[in-house]
């Protein structure tokens, strides 16, 4: 039986103007943006819809991205488009849990606002770095990184693309070693910290403490956890996975493979850009993938799914 997944991108997909046409054309999305605006301590709509360098700062990127993704979800659900399962890459996991019914959507936005601040402040800017390793087998990368105390794999994105993370000088040394081992390219990423490294474990522990006072709802549909690529049906596990996700590898390729093994054949990438669709071409080229980043995309998706 055919199954549909909602998948959500992470940090890096943000862009100026994201969500604006949904705000202008969708009553459901507009209402959601207005609600989200009230709970944040900065001008969400101005940050998303205008041109602001601050949009690329982790503490702002995170609530902006999750707000846009969940505003789009409001319009899709209004059109009767609902997922059988959800997943999100890194930050996208919060939108995935909210879309799966595991937590109040506004609580998700407040939580990622706090998450962004914790992640930004745990490691001083400049002390951490990340780099994308292209064209080298994951096992080979794992073997080489065993020689480095403060470098880890941040993301298993897709075959041929792995991201490493850690202390800046060691990431640079590891990058040279990986090139010598046969990597086609190693590209330093423009990020403000060593995300998904053990250096951020204090941020994960602090976030777990923050979540003690939060309530999670029974999941209406399952979601796939980044840290383990397992299908989660018990909402009591959500806070642990959120905390662990800050300092653990994002097992995105494995998450997609888990969904494929469980009958998912149609994926809807929700949010700006087409990053996840690009990964999908390498993980499962035969899978059906739609992208919804504009209001017109939502209309087109409804038409496509009605014909399927």
CB 71 within 8 A of CB 65: no
pLDDT digits (tens, 9 = 90+) for 114-172: 998 999 889 887 899 999 999 999 999 999 999 999 999 999 999 999 999 999 999 99
CA pair distance 225, 245, nearest whole angstrom: 8
pLDDT tens, residue by residue, 185-196: 999 988 878 999
Q: Give bridge partners of residue 8 from the DSSP assignment.
A: 88
Contacts of 195 (CB under 8 A, 6+ apart): 11, 90, 119, 128, 130, 154, 165, 246
Q: Which of the four pLDDT bands, split at 50, 70 and 90, describes residue 57?
A: confident
Three-class secondary structure of residue 85 per DSSP: strand
Listed as own residue / partner, the contacts of 67-70 with beta carbons closer than 8 Å and 24 or more positions apart are 67/19, 67/32, 67/33, 67/36, 67/109, 68/18, 68/19, 68/22, 68/271, 68/272, 69/8, 69/9, 69/95, 69/99, 69/270, 69/271, 70/32, 70/36, 70/95, 70/98, 70/99, 70/105, 70/108, 70/109
- Beta-strand ranges (E) seen in the chain are 3-8, 85-88, 128-134, 151-158, 161-167, 185-188, 223-224, 231-232, 264-270, 288-292
CB 245 within 8 A of CB 269: no
* Radius of gyration of the CA atoms of the chain, in A: 18
d(CA 304, CA 180): 47
What is the pTM assigned to this prediction?
Answer: 0.95
Q: Catalytic residue positions?
A: 90, 196
Phi then psi for residue 223, to 5 deg, are -135, 165
Q: CA end-to-end span of the chain, whole Å?
A: 13
Mean pLDDT computed over 283-304: 96
Residue 66 exposure: Cα atoms within 13 Å on the Cβ side: 33
- Cα torsion angle, 201, 204, 208, 210, sign: positive
Q: Give the pLDDT score at 37.
A: 95
- Give one DSSP letter per residue of 159-204, joined into a string: TTEEEEEEEHHHHHHHHHHHHHTT-SEEEE---SS-TTSGGGHHHH
Average pLDDT over residues 274-281: 96
The domains located in the chain, with CATH, are 3-122+198-307 (3.40.366.10), 128-188 (3.30.70.250)
Question: With contact defined as beta carbons under 8 Å apart, do 229 and 251 qualify?
Answer: yes
pLDDT band at 1 (very low <50, low <70, confident <90, very high): low
pLDDT tens by residue, 2-29: 899 999 999 889 999 999 999 999 999 9
pLDDT tens-digit readout, 68-115:
999 999 999 999 999 999 999 999 999 999 999 999 999 999 999 999
CA distances from 178 to 105, 128, 149, 168, 297 (A): 41, 18, 15, 15, 40
Model confidence over 202-237: pLDDT tens digits? 999 999 999 999 989 999 999 999 999 999 999 999
């Amino acid at each position: 039986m055919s199954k549909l997944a909602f998948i959500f991108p992470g940090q890096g997909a943000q862009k100026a103007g994201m969500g604006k046409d949904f705000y202008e054309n969708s009553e459901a999305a507009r209402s959601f943006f207005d609600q989200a605006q009230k709970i944040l301590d900065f001008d969400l709509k101005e940050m998303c819809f205008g041109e602001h360098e601050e949009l690329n700062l982790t503490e702002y990127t995170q609530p902006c991205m999750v707000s846009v993704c969940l505003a789009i979800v409001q319009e899709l659900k209004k059109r009767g488009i609902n997922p059988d399962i959800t997943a999100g890459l890194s930050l996208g996991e919060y939108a995935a849990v909210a879309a799966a019914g595991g937590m109040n959507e506004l609580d998700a936005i407040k939580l990622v606002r706090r998450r962004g601040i914790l992640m930004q402040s745990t490691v001083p800017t400049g002390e951490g770095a990340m780099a994308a390793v292209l064209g080298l087998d994951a096992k080979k990368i794992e073997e080489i990184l065993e020689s480095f105390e403060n470098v880890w794999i941040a993301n298993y994105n897709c075959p041929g693309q792995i991201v490493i993370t850690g202390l800046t000088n060691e990431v640079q040394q590891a990058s040279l070693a990986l090139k010598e081992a046969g990597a086609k390219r190693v590209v330093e990423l423009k990020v403000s910290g060593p995300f998904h490294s053990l250096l951020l474990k204090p941020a994960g522990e602090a976030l777990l403490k923050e979540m003690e006072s939060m309530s999670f709802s029974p999941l209406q549909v399952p979601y796939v956890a980044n840290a383990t690529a397992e299908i989660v049906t018990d909402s009591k596990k959500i806070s642990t996975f959120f905390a662990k996700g800050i300092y653990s590898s994002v097992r995105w390729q494995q998450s997609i493979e888990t969904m494929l093994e469980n009958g998912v054949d149609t994926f809807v990438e929700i949010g700006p850009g087409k990053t996840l669709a690009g990964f999908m071409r390498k993980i499962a080229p035969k899978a059906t993938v739609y992208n919804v980043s504009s209001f017109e995309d939502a209309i087109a998706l409804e038409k496509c799914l009605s014909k399927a």
